[in-house]
Each structure stands twice: as C-alpha cells, then as structure tokens.
Amino acid sequence: MKLWNKILLGLFVASQLKAVQAAPSELDGVAVIVNTGVVLQSDIETSLKTIRANAKDNQQTLPDDVTLRAQVIEKLIVDTIQQQEADRIGVRVDDNRLNKAIEDIAKNNKQTLEELNSSLTKEGLNYVQFREQVRKEIAASEARNALVRRRINILPAEVDNLADILAKETNATVQYKVGHIQLRVNEDNDKVTVEAQANKIVNELNAGADFQTMAYTYSKGPKALQGGDWGWMRKEEMPTIFADQIKLQGKGSIIGPFRSGVGFHILKIEDIKGLETVAVTEVKARHILIKPTVILSDEGVKRELLEITRKIEAGEATFGEMAQQYSQDPGSAAQKGELGYQTSDIYVPEFKHQVDSLRIGEISEPFKTVHGWHILEVMDRREVDRTDSALKNKAYRIIFNRKFNEEASAWLQEIRASAFVEIVKDDQDDN
C-alpha cells in the first residue's frame, strides 16, 4: 500500500540526509551473509553513524553500543531479505517512478532537486547511490505489499458491522431533506396491484419525473398535500421506517418501494447537510497479460506484445480478439480483455500508473508487474458519486490496514526465520 512507501521513504530520507560516508578502504568487508547476498561492514558503520547523528540532533537517548549494533544488523538483514523477495517476484522500478519518488522526497523536505542533491553532497553521499537505494526501498515495499495482500481475507460481515458503527457516529449530525410517497394496501386494492403501481412510479422518477408532482398525484401519506415534503430531519427524528432505509445514500437518491403495515413507500433524498459527498473517477480499461516462462524470456514477451499492438493499430485485429487469443488472465480474456469500470487504486502500482496516465484510446508500451507483462488500453473515464458507499469503503480501509499491519509483521518474521543468515566474525564482534 501507499502507506508503506511513505513510511519507508520517510525513514530512509530522515536517516540518509544525516548519514556520514564511511571509509570503504577500511570497512568494506562482508559482515553478514544473507541467503545469496551480503551486508557489508560499511553498511553497518554508516547506519550506526547515521542513527547517532540523528539522535544527537533530536536529543534522543540510544541503547548501549552492543545493543544498538545488534539492532542495526538485524534491520539490515531484514531489508536485504525483502529486496531479495522483490528480485524473486520480478518487481522492477523504472526511472519514471524513481524520478517521481525523488521529486516527492525533495518536496517533503521543502527542497528543489538541486537543493536535495546539494544536501546529499554536503553529507558526503553519492547521488547515484542515493537513487539506487531509493529504488531498492520502493521495490522491497512493493514486494511486501503484493505478498502480504494475498494473505488478507476480509469478510463482508466485518465491513458491514464496522460500517454500521461508523454510520451511527456520522448520523448524529447529518440532516436529510426527505420526500415521501405512500401507497396504501386495503380492501379496495390488493398488494400485487399496489406494488406494481409503486414500481411504475419509481421507474418514472428514475427517468426524471418530478417527485412533488408524483406525490400530489399518487401519495396517500400524511404529507401528500405538501408534495410529500417532510422537511429537514436527522435520522433520530424520522419515522422508523424512513430511518431504517436511509443509509447515507447521496443527494437525489430514490429509495424503495419498500413495504410497511399500511402499504408501500417511496423516499427521495432531496438534499443533505453535514455529510461530505464522495465523488471518484472510475476507469474502464482492458489489458492483455503474457507471463514469461523458462522458454519465453522477458524480452521475448515484450516483442510478442509489441507485435500484438502493431496488429491492433494496423487494423489487422481488434484488441478484444487479441485478448481472447493471447491473454493469460482468464477472467478478463473471456471479456475481450475488459476489466470494467474500476477505481485505479485497486490495481498494483505499475498497473495503476498506466491506468491513471494513459489517454482514452491509447495503448501502453509493454510493462511488467508482479503478475507478468501487460499492454493496456484506457477505454473510458467517468465521475461517480460514491457517497452511499463511502462508509463501507472507510470501514474496509480500516479493517484492511489493521490486518495488513498484522500480516506484514507475521510475513517479515516468516521470511526472516526461513532465510540463511551467517554473521561473519571480525574484531567488531569482540567489542
């Protein structure tokens, strides 16, 4: 998730801007073997000097040298394992994403890129090495995000329960201007006939009919002569049958028909006070996914996707035909590659970047995610009022973040426990 990127980059920048370059001729020895990689003695010494410099500036108390060194070594081991996981699943951070991340770092520090570069130089840091370290941090973060997300299972009931709690808190201050149409069921008209009439009225309202006119014409409710207007009310002031149906739907929503003891009811939310509306951009996209194999290399996949793009742009085939024939995403391939209208934040970062940046009708260059290689076309964009689902989205995010943090911690412990780690003894260990 984005949260992890921000945390990692924030910690990295906070430390690296204070780092003092170690003398490689004295310290560049292998301190720890981690699977097929290593942690250098210079990495440890630079981190120690960084932490001590930052602690001095912030007037923080540090543990004794032995404890501090052990903590630094452990962090570098875990960082190395995460970067190896990123390499294993093929996470790649291109220069465009890296440049954007460094621009964000400079902005957060209230610096231009030139000022950031100057700050690094004054601290004895190499800008090229700084860029590559940021690249590694982003890749490690994306690997963790992708692998931890697979472990998270959120039940709809969990979301509904938390959304109900949040709704009760929100509804304490929200006011609704409500219109009402009531159709009675009695001895003179049977339930089926009245329900059919109610559905007909709802269809006409959704087609643009005026609610007040329909209320004057059809309603048998207590506010019929006011065009069904109940005025402004909080949920606690409404009739229970109204309050039970209103669940933070947006302005203009038609609710019903729903049944009570006296007949059928139709509500309209004419206006809302005290509720922040939520509008989101949904993107309709389609893609073709091809996965590298032992036989088909990354370069081979790219060439294949470029040839598919050429055929589409030359009019030799349609995107949908190519997706059905070649895409290895079975769910979307059956739909001619189409993913439907979605908000871009549901996609992995590399895919999201393409969805957000492509023009309508434009086909991307081949790009890689943890799932394989893709080409993608944005078909349409639309603005959607999501006020009615805002609390459910908020509840989902809260639950996801809780579970993500729990699972991320467990995942880190698992990959650390399964890694081969050997501390290489030297004079430092005798201190």
Q: Where are the domains of the chain?
A: 2-152+419-430, 174-273, 279-385
Q: Looking at residues 162-166, what average pLDDT do you find? A: 82
The CATH architecture assigned to 174-273 reads: Roll (3.10)
The 10s digit of each residue's pLDDT in 78-98 is 989 998 998 898 888 888 889
pLDDT at 90: 87
The 10s digit of each residue's pLDDT in 33-66 is 999 999 988 888 877 876 786 677 678 888 888 9
Pairing state of beta strands 30-34 and 338-342?
A: unpaired
CATH number of 2-152+419-430: 1.10.4030.10
Topology alike, domains 174-273 and 279-385: yes
The CATH architecture assigned to 279-385 reads: Roll (3.10)
pLDDT at 256: 92
> pLDDT confidence of 9, banded at 50, 70, 90?
very low
Which residue matches tokens 């076309």?
A: 377
pLDDT at 203: 95
Residue 256 near residue 215, CB atoms below 8 Å:
no
The 10s digit of each residue's pLDDT in 366-401 is 999 999 999 999 999 988 766 657 778 788 889 998
pLDDT at residue 5 greater than cutoff 60: no
The 10s digit of each residue's pLDDT in 216-248 is 999 999 999 999 999 999 888 888 899 889 876
